[in-house]
Amino acid sequence: MIKSIAIDMDNVIADIETHLVNLYEKEYNVKVDRTALLGVSEDEAFPDKTAARRFIHTPGFFRTVPLMPGALEAIQILRKKYEIYIVSAATEFPLSLAEKHEWLAEYFPFISWKNMIFCGSKAVIKTDYMIDDHCKNLDYCIGKPILFHASHNVNIKHHFRVNNWQEVLAYFEKEEQNA
């Protein structure tokens, strides 16, 4: 039986953090010190505490997010051996639903609409693995939770962590060897 992987969008395959930094730097004409983002939520990351939410609620925000380095290539490799589901708690940001669907169609056209799950709570997801940047999602994972590194989660220690997509591939190679 083929195993399944739930993969989050924001800060896992879609580089929200870089997008927010770029938008902030452009609008405020300042250079953001990315070390200042470590251990704080997006809402607290910038001197103007309203900026991140304002950007996120701006039409076009989710459609124009850059692709996370290595994500496309890694998912193309993983899909040869695993059932891949892209899972996003997108209902928190209703504007994001169509934009995320369009974004996925552009960058991951090989992912069927049947494998795109836009939800509120990821507690309903029942896959063998879940790759996410938030513990609020991983804590309920019935499979193996994998914490994808993001500035806001640097202090999280209770889930297995990967720092990039190369480490994701290495993890799954090791899983296959141990099977």
Please tell me the distance from the alpha carbon of residue 139 to that of residue 98, in angstroms, as a whole number.
28
DSSP state of 109: T
Show which residues are catalytic: 8, 10
Rounded to whole angstroms, what are the CA distances from 118 to 28, 51, 91, 114, 153?
A: 32, 25, 7, 11, 22
Please tell me the distance from the alpha carbon of residue 42 to that of residue 53, in angstroms, as a whole number.
8
How far is Cα of residue 129 from the mean position of the Cα atoms in its chain?
14
Q: What domains lie within the chain, and their CATH numbers?
A: 3-15+66-178 (3.40.50.1000), 16-62 (no CATH)
Please tell me the distance from the alpha carbon of residue 1 to that of residue 136, in angstroms, as a whole number.
28
Q: What is the pLDDT along the chain (179 residues), one digit of tens a residue?
A: 899 999 999 999 999 999 999 999 999 999 999 998 999 998 888 999 999 999 999 999 999 999 999 999 999 999 999 999 999 999 988 889 999 999 999 999 999 999 999 999 999 999 999 999 999 999 999 999 999 999 999 999 999 999 999 999 999 999 999 87
Please tell me the distance from the alpha carbon of residue 38 to that of residue 80, in angstroms, as a whole number.
35
Residue type for position 119: C
Cα distance from N-terminal residue to C-terminal residue, the chain = 13
Please tell me the distance from the alpha carbon of residue 83 to that of residue 121, in angstroms, as a whole number.
21
